[in-house]
């Protein structure tokens, strides 16, 4: 093997845009195609909007306009506008920005001056325009390179800033914006900034009651055990209630940033709620019983927050102020007084809350014995060698590449042939495979006891590591990979019922997906095209011409490992399972998985499609 020379020529210096484009994951986390709510294209939107939010927080501008089309984003605020002489520098020079001046931005989301530069470098078109005191300045870029530096001109527009960008489709391959993700992202901005109005694609987003409005929108009021508790203090706001669903569900924010992986503020809230409730009732309730079925939200504002990654999804700050006050003390002191006061003033809420805790305690004790036996069975089943073909990187790793952790996924397959093909073709770094044995049990209407009694459910729960909540979730994406036939669809429904019944936060937090696999393979001697619909098949036939060979895939087991590698690599197609804001899980499961009713029969008949409707005769 020839020796590799290490000389002065080996040392390379990259400018800011080259480094961002070479290592985008360092700046925006994972890339993705838009099928997951934390994919890079949504981070780009956030980085631009955050600047407008910061202006609003400082008292400048009550309205923000956002327009998102297929591949273009436009944001206009009515703040102070970027100083005209610094317009180019603010979007093209690392470590340049107003957020270093703590007098201008006391409690901002971003302090490192990278956000807009990352958007600039990762966009094929990027425009910034500032309006200040009757003058305007425009600059346009391509992949971070300045292509048009317009001179300052007169304007009659109101003060503020306008951004437009088009993400680079060579970086974000086959990307698309999912409206529900943008809707959720923008509503969060409204909830966290009372009085702010955001106009998004013609719709108005506005909140007067902050986190109270957030939980009201996220929950079905009819399923809550008591009215939402809403408490506020200086730089902290909380809302919480208990529902009838399983698990815990939280929404946490720092300086307006949605910390989807929580952090020190959420951990402090969970601890403080338990402590305060124990003290209020004078009972040493088990923490799990207090938190079971809780739905909560917390928002804090701190100076110079420390996040565990560039994408700011988890708060790492221990302190909240220069004087050394810890996040734990800050949250605990607030909850201890505010929640205790609330419960003393609202005896009906206090009574309902205690009944929910006692019910959770009773349910926990009922399954305690079977839970221990189930855990022992899971260990004896040698999970990681038989049912699970694990990957090397995990979502709950404390350290590691953020982009790789974000790409971790568990394929849930049916049958040995399908699981074998995926196992042989997967990326062993980030992709794991769990093999089902037969059809899962229809768990609708059953208590969580069935999760421990049913071996498949119990082993799947252990594989995901979600028995005690999502904090230990080992995979960012849970991918249901079943055949596109009647049996496969049935298994898909049974799995979705399991997740929605017992772990609804997995779906609500955007962790569950459906694997799309091609229905057809169209090929000639020179080229092979995989088609996911009949429209794509017709287009492939037209493209290849001369009567190409057409194969209709009946099941995943028919696809060779070599071919499977084409479908679960860079071009993987995942359909996220998204709950609409008006969807009630109990009503949904009752309709689809409960007893047969005339309404469901009519629905099936109305939606019935047979093979001839799906596929024309192959030519």
Domain boundaries, the chain: 16-206, 211-361, 381-517+555-614, 518-552
For the residues 277-297, what does the mean pLDDT come to?
95
Sequence-distant (≥ 6) Cβ neighbours of residue 574 within 8 angstroms: 35, 36, 477, 479, 513, 514, 515, 516
* Structure confidence by residue, pLDDT tens digits, 251-281: 999 888 888 888 899 999 999 999 999 999 9
DSSP letters along 255-292, please?
TTEE-TT-BHHHHHHHHHHHHHHHHHHT----HHHHHT
pLDDT of residue 341: 97
Q: What is the pLDDT of residue 54?
A: 86
- The per-residue pLDDT for range 9-35, each reduced to its tens digit, is 655 556 778 888 888 888 888 888 899
Query: What kind of architecture, by CATH, is found in domain 381-517+555-614?
Result: 3-Layer(aba) Sandwich (3.40)
Q: From residue 573, give the alpha-carbon distance in Å to each of 146, 179, 203, 479, 491.
A: 35, 17, 30, 11, 19
Instruction: Return the residue matching tokens 């302190």.
Output: 319
State residue 66's pLDDT score: 97
Nearest alpha carbon to residue 249 among 498, 584, 446, 506: 506
Question: Which residues are registered as beta bridge partners of 250?
Answer: 296
Residue 297 has a pLDDT of 96
- Max mean pLDDT among 152-166, 299-313, 323-337, 539-553 falls in 152-166
- Provide the β-strand partners of residue 388: 434
Architecture of domain 16-206: 2-Layer Sandwich (3.30)
pLDDT tens for residues 358-406?
Answer: 999 998 888 887 877 777 777 666 555 568 899 999 988 877 777 788 8
State residue 586's pLDDT score.
81
pTM, whole model, 2 decimals?
Answer: 0.83
The yes-or-no verdict on residue 617 having pLDDT over 80 is no
**Average pLDDT of the segment spanning 565-581:** 86
Q: Which of 213-217, 242-246, 257-261 has the lowest mean pLDDT?
A: 257-261
Q: Does residue 561 sit in helix, strand or coil? A: helix
Residue 214 pLDDT level (bands cut at 50, 70, 90): very high
What pLDDT is recorded for position 468? 81
Query: Which residue has tokens 């057809």?
Result: 520
Per-residue pLDDT, 607:
62
- Residue range 168-199, pLDDT digits in tens: 999 998 899 999 999 999 999 999 998 899 99
- pLDDT of 290 reads 96
Beta bridge partners of 414: 436
Residue 103 confidence (pLDDT):
47
How many Å apart are CA 28 and CA 252, to the nearest integer? 20
Is 347's pLDDT higher than 60? yes
As a whole number of angstroms, the distance between CA 486 and CA 492 comes to 10
**What CATH architecture applies to the domain 211-361?**
2-Layer Sandwich (3.30)
Tokens encoding 132: 């200040």
- Alpha-carbon distances of 110 from 105, 113, 198, 440, rounded to whole Å: 10, 7, 20, 46
What pLDDT is recorded for position 561? 84
Residue 321 has pLDDT above 90, yes or no: no
Asked if pLDDT for residue 417 goes beyond 90, the answer is no
- C-alpha dist (Å) from residue 48 to 30, 106, 209: 18, 18, 25
Phi, psi angles (nearest 5°) of residue 60:
-125, 105
Average pLDDT over residues 345-370: 92
pLDDT > 70? residue 614: no
Mean pLDDT, rounded, of the chain? 86
**pLDDT given for residue 96 in this prediction:** 54
Reference 420, options 277, 221, 561; nearest CA is 561
Provide the 10 A C-beta neighbour count for residue 69: 10
Going by pLDDT thresholds of 50, 70 and 90, the confidence category of residue 310 is low
Q: Pick the residue with more confidence: 388 or 205?
A: 205
Q: What percent of the chain stands above pLDDT 70?
A: 89
What percentage of residues in the chain have a pLDDT greater than 90?
49
More confident residue, 317 or 505: 505
Residue pair 157/79 in contact by the 8 Å Cβ criterion: no
Burial (CB count within 10 angstroms: exposed 0-12, middle 13-18, buried 19+), residue 7: exposed
pLDDT for the residue 104: 41
């Amino acid at each position: 093997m020839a020796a590799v020379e290490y000389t002065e020529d080996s040392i390379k210096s990259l400018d800011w845009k080259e480094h961002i484009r070479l290592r985008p994951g360092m700046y925006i986390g994972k890339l993705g195609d838009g099928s997951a709510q934390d994919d890079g294209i949504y981070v780009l939107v956030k980085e631009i909007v955050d600047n407008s939010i910061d202006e609003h927080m400082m008292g400048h501008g009550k309205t923000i306009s956002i327009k998102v089309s297929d591949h273009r984003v436009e944001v206009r605020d009515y703040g102070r506008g970027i100083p005209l002489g610094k317009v180019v520098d603010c979007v093209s020079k690392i470590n340049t920005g107003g957020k270093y001046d703590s007098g201008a931005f006391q409690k901002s989301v971003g302090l490192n001056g990278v956000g807009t530069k990352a958007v600039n470098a990762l966009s094929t078109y990027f425009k910034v325009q500032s309006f200040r005191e009757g003058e305007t300045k425009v600059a346009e870029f391509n992949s971070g390179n300045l292509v048009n530096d317009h001179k300052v001109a007169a304007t009659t527009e109101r003060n503020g800033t306008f951004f437009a960008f088009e993400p680079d489709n060579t970086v974000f391959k086959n990307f698309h914006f999912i409206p529900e993700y943008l809707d959720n992202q923008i509503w969060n901005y409204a909830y966290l900034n009372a009085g702010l109005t955001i106009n998004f694609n013609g719709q108005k987003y506005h909140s007067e009651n902050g986190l109270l409005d957030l939980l009201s929108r996220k929950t079905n009021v009819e399923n809550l055990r008591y009215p939402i508790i809403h408490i506020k203090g200086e730089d902290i706001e909380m809302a919480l209630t208990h529902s009838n669903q399983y698990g815990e569900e939280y929404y946490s924010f720092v300086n307006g940033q949605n910390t989807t992986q929580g952090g020190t503020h959420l951990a402090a809230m969970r601890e403080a709620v338990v402590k305060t409730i124990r003290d209020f009732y004078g009972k040493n309730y088990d923490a799990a019983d207090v938190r079971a079925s809780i739905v909560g939200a917390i928002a804090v504002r701190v100076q110079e927050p420390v996040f565990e990654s560039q994408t700011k999804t988890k708060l790492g700050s221990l302190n909240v102020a220069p004087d050394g006050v810890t996040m734990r003390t800050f949250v605990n002191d607030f909850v201890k007084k505010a929640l205790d006061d609330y419960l003393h003033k609202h005896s009906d809420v206090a009574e309902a809350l205690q009944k929910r805790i006692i019910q959770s305690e009773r349910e926990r004790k009922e399954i305690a014995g079977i839970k221990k036996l189930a855990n022992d069975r899971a260990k004896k089943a040698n999970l990681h060698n038989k049912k699970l073909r694990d990957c090397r990187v995990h979502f709950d790793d404390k350290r590691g590449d953020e982009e790789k952790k974000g790409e971790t996924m568990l394929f849930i397959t049916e049958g040995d042939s399908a699981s074998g093909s995926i196992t042989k073709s997967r990326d062993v770094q980030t992709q794991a495979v769990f093999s089902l044995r037969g059809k899962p049990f229809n768990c609708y209407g059953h208590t969580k006891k069935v999760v421990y009694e049913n071996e498949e459910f119990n082993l799947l729960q252990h594989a995901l590591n979600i028995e005690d909540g999502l904090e230990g979730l080992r995979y960012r994406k849970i991918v249901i990979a079943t055949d596109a036939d009647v049996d496969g669809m049935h298994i898909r429904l049974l799995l979705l019922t399991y997740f929605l019944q017992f772990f609804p936060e997995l779906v609500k937090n955007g962790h569950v997906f459906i694997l799309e696999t091609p229905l057809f393979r169209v090929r000639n001697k020179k080229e092979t095209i995989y088609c996911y619909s009949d429209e794509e098949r017709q287009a492939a036939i037209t493209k290849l011409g001369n009567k190409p060979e057409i194969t209709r895939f009946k099941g995943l087991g028919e696809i060779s490992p070599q071919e499977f590698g084409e479908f679960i690599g860079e071009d993987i197609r995942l359909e996220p399972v998204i709950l609409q804001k008006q969807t009630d899980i109990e009503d949904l499961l009752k309709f689809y998985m409960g007893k047969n009713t005339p309404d469901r029969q009519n629905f099936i008949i109305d939606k019935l499609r047979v093979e001839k409707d799906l596929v024309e005769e192959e030519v």
